[in-house]
């Protein structure tokens, strides 16, 4: 009887290990990745974009915002020259823009959903350019922070 119980216990543990590894699979590419927030570890956020972009003269990156809380935006100039950038709403209006020196970064948090409602949902585009058409690069990330 002890051998049967031991065999049953071992097979149950093996089944649990297989079930755990299946449930821990990476979500599909189009789904947002939920990560614990740095605000006390209790507020989740969805990673909308995390990308390094290289460009010659100008470059773009974009992400989809579907609501769910504040929009956090981060951009860092990883190149050797200053560039100008703009982040535009889905309707094409500027949300934020400015120059960014080499090695510098900007971070913003916007309450776009509360202010603009469902018109804030859609594709946001970041446009970057420098004055002389030379090579440059930037790191960008965007997150939807659930309040």
pLDDT digit string, tens, across residues 47-87: 899 999 999 999 999 999 988 788 999 999 999 999 999 99
Number of neighbouring beta carbons within 10 Å of residue 117: 10
pLDDT above 90: percentage of residues in the chain: 54
Q: What is the pTM of this model?
A: 0.68
What is d(CA 123, CA 98) in angstroms, rounded to the nearest whole number?
20
pLDDT of residue 145: 81
The conformational region for residue 104 under phi > 0 = left, psi -120 to 50 = alpha, else beta, is beta
E-strand spans in the chain? 33-36, 44-56, 58-65, 70-77, 83-88, 94-100, 105-110, 122-129, 135-145
């Amino acid at each position: 009887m002890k051998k049967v119980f031991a065999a049953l216990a071992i097979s149950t543990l093996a089944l649990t290990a297989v079930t755990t590894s299946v449930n821990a699979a990476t979500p599909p590419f189009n789904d947002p990745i939920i990560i614990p927030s740095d605000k006390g570890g209790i507020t989740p956020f969805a990673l909308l974009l995390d990308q390094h972009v290289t460009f010659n003269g100008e470059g773009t990156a974009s992400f989809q915002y579907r609501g769910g809380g504040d929009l956090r935006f981060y951009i860092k100039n990883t190149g050797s020259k200053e560039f100008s950038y703009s982040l535009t709403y889905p309707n094409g209006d500027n949300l934020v823009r400015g120059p960014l020196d080499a090695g510098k970064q900007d971070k913003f948090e916007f309450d776009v959903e509360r202010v603009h409602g469902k018109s804030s949902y859609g594709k946001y585009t970041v446009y970057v350019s420098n004055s002389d058409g030379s090579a440059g690069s930037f790191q960008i990330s965007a997150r939807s922070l659930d309040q």
